[in-house]
């Protein structure tokens, strides 16, 4: 008897044809819908556990009655040096900020380096110094690490993974699911500075700009508002890849609430807007590395904004909108000329337009 | 950014909106030809500022949307050849071909790169003499001059490892085809400001006179568009059938002479197939004989590739303004930005993508 369909035990190859979307594309790492899909298809079914379910920037774990936040982040940025920072400062701030967004005070960080053969030692030392400066600024210690070198061409100069732990005060409960109708949505400053600063220096696209990345550790500022408003702060989120639009969409979907924001309240530097106009980018989708969204009870919003504005990293903090009961799962934007539209989550990566 | 902010003021928008309501007496169907204009309309929620008498229909002016499926397949076939660097404007990469798209081919290992200027492709050709560099030359009268200049520069520098896959199309013949079609219901046109800044207004003046419809050349900011609609409605109510220029800060009546010079030097007019609209006579450009050696279709022997459109996609009716994206059964169901069935769901200037991103509540 012949069987038309069978597994080949020698190779364990599956007879199913590979579909085109069986390949990982760059868009799967863009922080938008395709990233979400990949997590849901590949990671969650295998790793699923009660800590992972929160789908936050990091996990919050109870260990011996202490609330510990734990997170990890890999950095593969091109170019590795950019105006306002480098891959080193970014790798420390990224993990510090993820911990801060769990409501934690960051404490200890690990650093794993994957280095391409032939990479310059002086550059590496410069990056390590920049990591140490960022760690000092964030008041964390880099306490363990790992180094691997791969053949030339098998990596692009240098990748850094950092993981970190921090401690969360017992009365603090930060979770995207806690966004409630009536809450205020606060943004800590101008958006899209990081994405545009990096892009302006990328190969194939150089334009002159005085713009610097906003990369900075947000933990001190977050601790200030947590001390002030405590449990009245419901959600914290740093809008990195996918920008403010994707972060708010994730929150709206996870909390099953609507979010309404005002275009006129969202601050974008002139040079960033100019670059976005030129490239056909919407700043709402461009990455930030030193800004955060805070969703808090409305009665505390004014005080939180004042506290933020008194700190150098929150000078332009403002309330950009509210959480609503209507249109759950959606973000609506009141446009500058008085119309209303939805703000969709980013699909893949933003592609520069043709004309 | 003061320059842009002046055209995005709510109080001014409300004034023009009020003025439109004052003059409109009958229902009018107005087509904004360019996808960039569609994008602004929907992105700023401008439909909410217009009286119910005015229906906006979205035109075929999305360069990515009208590039035929066969050209995406040709691009993919060329990118599969050894030692090729295939270069393209960014938003062409996600447009589905018959079986794949350029982004997926890139993920599989083909060397496909986004360029921001066609001249970047030439720079690649100089720095990679061992490779063949191919540029995807698509778009309307706006991108044609930059492609023409790049080809002319390649010839001047005697660069031989560079070629262009050309699918350039022209706006006036497509509008003529829409106006001449049986059952045309479009009363007036918002003409595409940037295209006219290159070509000048003559072709639109001729169309206005021949078919007795008003054209108003308009920019891309909310107030540009609102004032453009005001002038179109006024012209319709007064039966004033000519081409007016509402974008004088950019558009000269005679167009851009330098750009036209390069286009005339490198290209000649030919028939072109438009995705969704079919073959339109004299509606595109091809390389003149003197530059034919830069034709990638010949160089890589892909000219014979032909392809069938997905039967699900109603791009043709969308691009002709006959249907709105909402009226497509696949819209936001089987067709979405992650898995587009047709090009209007891909480009930021495509009507379907614009509706998907800004108009589903």
Count of residues for chain A?
A: 355
Residue B239 to chain A, least CA–CA distance (Å): 30
Return the structure tokens found at A111. 């650093």
pLDDT digits (tens, 9 = 90+) for B99-158: 899 999 998 999 999 998 999 999 999 999 999 999 999 999 999 999 999 999 999 999
B220 to chain A: closest CA residue: A277
As a whole number of angstroms, the distance between CA A21 and CA A18 comes to 8
A-B contacts at Cβ under 8 angstroms: 126
Contact criterion met (CB < 8 Å) for A351 and B91: yes
Cα separations (Å) of A264 from A268, A306, B222, B256?
A: 10, 19, 15, 36
Residue in A280, A338, A347 nearest the CB of B13? A338
Cα separations (Å) of B58 from A272, A282, B354?
A: 30, 21, 11
User: pTM score, two decimals?
Assistant: 0.83
pLDDT at A2 over 50: no
Chain position carrying tokens 């061992």: B130
Minimal CA–CA distance to A140: which of A113, A101, A158, A167?
Answer: A167
Contact criterion met (CB < 8 Å) for B104 and A20: yes
Cα separations (Å) of A317 from A197, A242, A248, A311?
A: 21, 20, 17, 10
| CB contacts, 8 Å: B9 with chain A | 336-337
Position A21 scores a pLDDT of 63
Contact present, A346 and B357 (Cβ < 8 Å): no
Contact criterion met (CB < 8 Å) for B104 and A205: no
As a whole number of angstroms, the distance between CA A233 and CA A226 comes to 7
Position B316 scores a pLDDT of 84
Q: Mutate which of B45, B88, B229 to disrupt the A interface (most A C-beta within 10 Å)?
A: B45
pLDDT at B283 over 80: yes
pLDDT band (50, 70, 90) for residue B41? very high
Contact criterion met (CB < 8 Å) for A23 and B107: yes
Give the bridge partners for A146, in sequence order: A112
pLDDT at A3 over 90: no
pLDDT digits (tens, 9 = 90+) for A47-95: 988 888 777 778 999 999 999 999 999 999 988 999 999 999 999 999 9
pLDDT at A16 over 50: no
Name which of A36-40, B221-225, B284-288 the model is least confident about: A36-40
What value does the mean pLDDT take over residues A271-299?
A: 92
> CB within 8 A of B67, min separation 6: which ones?
B92, B95, B138, B167, B169, B275, B343
């Amino acid at each position: 008897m012949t069987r038309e369909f069978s597994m080949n035990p020698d190779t364990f190859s599956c007879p199913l044809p590979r579909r085109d979307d069986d390949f990982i594309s760059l868009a799967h790492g863009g922080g938008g819908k395709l990233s979400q899909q990949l997590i849901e298809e590949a990671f969650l079914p295998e790793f699923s556990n009660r800590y992972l379910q929160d789908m936050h920037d990091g996990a919050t774990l109870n260990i011996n009655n202490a609330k510990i936040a734990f997170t990890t982040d890999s950095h593969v940025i091109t170019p590795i040096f950019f105006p306002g920072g480098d891959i080193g400062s970014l790798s420390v701030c990224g993990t510090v900020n993820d911990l801060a967004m769990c409501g934690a005070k960051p404490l200890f960080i690990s650093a794993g380096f994957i280095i391409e053969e032939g990479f310059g030692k002086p550059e590496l030392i410069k990056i390590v110094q920049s990591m140490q400066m960022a760690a000092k600024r964030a008041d964390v210690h880099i306490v363990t690490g790992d180094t691997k070198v791969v053949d030339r061409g098998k990596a692009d100069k240098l990748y850094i993974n950092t993981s970190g732990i921090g401690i969360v005060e017992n009365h603090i409960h930060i979770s995207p699911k806690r966004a409630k109708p009536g809450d205020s949505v606060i943004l800590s400053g101008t958006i899209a500075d990081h994405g545009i600063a990096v892009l302006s220096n990328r190969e194939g696209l150089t334009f002159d700009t005085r713009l610097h990345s906003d990369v900075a550790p947000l933990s001190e500022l977050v601790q200030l508002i947590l001390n002030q408003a405590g449990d009245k702060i419901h959600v914290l989120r740093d809008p990195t890849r996918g920008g403010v639009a994707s972060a708010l969409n994730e929150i709206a979907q996870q909390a099953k609430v609507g979010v309404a924001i005002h275009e006129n309240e969202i601050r974008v530097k002139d040079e960033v807007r100019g670059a976005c106009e030129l490239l056909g980018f919407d700043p709402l989708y461009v990455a930030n590395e030193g800004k955060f969204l805070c969703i808090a009870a409305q009665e505390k919003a004014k005080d939180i904004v004042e506290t933020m504005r008194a700190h150098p990293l929150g000078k332009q903090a403002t309330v950009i909108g509210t959480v609503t009961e209507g249109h759950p799962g959606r973000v609506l934007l009141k446009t500058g000329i008085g119309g209303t539209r939805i703000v969709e989550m980013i699909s893949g990566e933003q592609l520069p337009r043709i004309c | 950014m003061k320059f842009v902010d002046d055209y995005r003021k709510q109080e001014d928008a409300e004034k023009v909106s009020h003025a439109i309501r004052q003059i409109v007496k009958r229902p009018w169907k107005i087509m904004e030809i360019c996808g960039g204009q569609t994008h602004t309309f929907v992105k700023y929620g401008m439909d909410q500022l217009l009286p119910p008498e005015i229906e906006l229909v979205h035109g075929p002016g999305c360069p990515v949307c009208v590039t035929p499926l066969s050209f995406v397949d040709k691009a993919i076939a060329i990118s599969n050849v050894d030692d090729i660097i295939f270069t393209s404007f960014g938003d062409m990469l996600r447009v589905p071909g018959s079986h794949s798209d350029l982004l997926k081919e890139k993920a599989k290992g083909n060397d496909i790169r986004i360029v921001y200027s066609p001249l970047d492709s030439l720079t690649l050709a100089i720095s990679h003499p061992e490779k063949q560099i191919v540029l995807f030359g698509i778009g309307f009268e706006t991108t044609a001059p930059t492609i023409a200049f790049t080809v002319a520069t390649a010839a001047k520098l005697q660069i031989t490892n560079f070629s262009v896959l050309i699918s350039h199309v022209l706006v006036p013949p497509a509008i003529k085809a829409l106006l001449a079609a049986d059952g045309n219901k479009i009363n007036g046109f918002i003409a595409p400001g940037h295209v006219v800044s290159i070509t000048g207004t003559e072709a639109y003046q001729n169309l206005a006179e021949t078919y007795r419809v008003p054209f108003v050349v308009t920019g891309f900011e909310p107030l540009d568009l609102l004032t453009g609609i005001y002038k179109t409605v006024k012209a319709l109510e007064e039966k004033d059938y000519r081409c007016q220029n509402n974008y004088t800060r950019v558009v000269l009546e005679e167009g851009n002479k330098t750009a036209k010079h390069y286009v005339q030097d490198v290209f000649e007019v030919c028939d072109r197939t438009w995705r969704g609209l079919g073959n339109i006579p004299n509606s595109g450009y091809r390389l003149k004989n003197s530059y034919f050696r830069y034709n990638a279709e010949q160089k890589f022997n892909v000219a014979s590739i032909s392809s069938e459109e997905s039967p699900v996609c109603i791009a043709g009716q969308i691009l002709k303004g006959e249907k709105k994206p909402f009226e497509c059964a696949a819209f936001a169901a089987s067709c979405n930005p992650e898995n587009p069935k047709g090009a209007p769901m891909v480009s930021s200037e495509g009507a379907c993508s614009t509706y998907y991103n800004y108009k589903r509540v």
